[in-house]
Structure 1
Amino acid sequence: VYHPTRNFADTMLKRLGVEVEYYAPDVGAGIAALIKPNTKVVFTESPASNTFEVQDIPAIAKAAHAAGAIVMMDNTWATPLYFRPLDHGVDISIHAATKYPAGHSDVLLGTVSANESCWTHLYESFCTLGCCAGPDDVYQVLRGLRSMGVRLEHHQRSTLAIAFWLEGQKGVARVLHPALPSHPDHALWKRDFSGSSGIFSIVLAGGGQKQQHAFLDALRIFGLGYSWGGYESLAVPVWLGDRVVAKAPYEGPLIRLQIGLEDVDDLKADISRGLTAAAAA
Structure 2
Amino acid sequence: MSDQKSLQTLLSHSDYTAPEGFSALSTSIHHASTVVFKNVAAMRSRSWANKSSYTYGLHGTPTTFTLEARLAEIEDAKYCLLAPSGLAAIAMVDFALLKSGDDVLLPDNVYNPNRDLGNWLGQDFGISARYYDPLIGAGIADLIQPNTRLIWTEAPGSVSMEVPDIPAICKAAHDKGVLVAIDNTWSAGLAFRAFEHGVDIVMQALTKYQSGGSDVLMGAVMTRNDEVHQKLTMAHMRLGFGVGADDTYLVLRGLSTMKLRFDAHDAAARAVASWLKTRPEITRILHPAFEDCPGHAVWKRDFTGAGGLFSVMFDARYTQQQIDHFVDSLQLFKIGFSWGGSNSLCVPYHIQNMRKNWTIPGHLVRFNIGLEDAQDLIADIERALAAL
**Structure 1 residue aligned with 2:144:** 35
Aligned to 1:231: 342
**Could you tell me how far apart the structure 2 residues matched to 1:56 and 1:163 are?**
23
Aligned position for 2:250: 140
What letter is aligned with 1:220?
Answer: Q
- In structure 1, stretches of 5+ residues that fail to align are none
Q: Give 1:96's aligned residue.
A: 205
Indicate the residue corresponding to 2:380 in structure 1.
270
- Paired AA for residue 105 in structure 1: S
Q: 2:184, 2:288 → 1: CA distance?
A: 15
Tell whether the 8 Å contact from 2:166 to 2:197 is kept in structure 1 after alignment: yes
Q: Are the equivalent residues in 2 in contact too, given 1:50–1:200 (CA < 8 A)?
A: yes
Query: Counterparts of 2:146 and 2:353 in 1: how far apart (Å)?
Result: 27
Indicate how the Cα distance of structure 1 residues 127 and 102 shifts in structure 2: closer, same or farther if over 3 A, else same.
same
The answer on whether the counterparts of 2:284 and 2:292 sit within 8 Å (CA) in structure 1 is no
Q: 1:182 to 1:237 in 2, by over 3 A?
A: closer
Match of 2:330 in 1: 219
- Shift of residue 228, structure 1, vs aligned partner: 1.3
Equivalent-residue separation in structure 2 for 1:184 and 1:7 (angstroms)? 24
- Give the TM-score normalised by the residue count of structure 2: 0.69
**For residues 128 and 264 of structure 1, what CA distance do their matches in structure 2 show?**
46
Kindly tell me the number of residue pairs found equivalent between the two proteins.
277
- What amino acid is the match of 1:74? D
Residues 1:188 and 2:298 aligned together = yes
Indicate whether 1:176 and 2:286 are aligned: yes
Cα displacement string for residues 112-155 of structure 1 (whole angstroms, at most 9, x for unaligned residues): 10122422211222122221001111000011111101100100
Provide the C-alpha distance between the structure 1 equivalents of 2:130 and 2:323, rounded to a whole number of angstroms.
31
Shift of 1:229: 1.1
Q: Which deviates more, 28-37 or 112-121?
A: 112-121
CA deviations 1:81-136 (Å, max 9, x no partner) are: 10111111111111110011010000010111012242221122212222100111
Is residue 2:116 matched to residue 1:7? yes
Query: Does the 8 A contact of 1:215 with 1:273 survive in 2?
Result: no
> Which residue does the alignment assign to 1:59?
168
> Structure 2: how far apart are the matches of 1:205 and 1:259?
21
Larger Rg: 2
Q: Superposition pairs for residues 103-122 of structure 1, below 5 Å?
A: 103-117=212-226, 118-122=228-232
The gaps in structure 2 that reach 5 residues or longer are: 1-109
Deviates most, 178-187 or 93-102: 178-187
**For the Cα contact (< 8 Å) 1:23–1:245, is it kept in 2?**
no
**Match 1:80 to one of 185, 189, 201:** 189
SS in 2 for 1:22: strand
CA distance in 1 between partners of 2:295 and 2:170 (Å): 18
Deviation at 1:274, TM superposition (A): 2.0
The superposition leaves residues 11-41 of structure 1 with CA deviations (integer Å, 9 ceiling, x where unpaired) of 2453111101100011000000001111010
TM-score under structure 1 length normalisation: 0.95
RMSD, matched Cα: 1.3
**Counterpart-to-counterpart distance in 2, 1:65 and 1:244:** 27
Deviation sequence 1:182-237 (CA, Å, 0-9, x none):
43422110111111010000111122311211111110000000021111000001
Partner residue, 2:277: 167
Q: Which residue is equivalent to 1:260?
A: 370
State the distance in 1 between where 2:168 and 2:231 align: 24
Structure 1 pair 244–182 and aligned structure 2 pair: CA distance change class (3 A): closer
Q: Any conservation in 2 of the 1:25–1:246 contact (CA below 8 Å)?
A: no
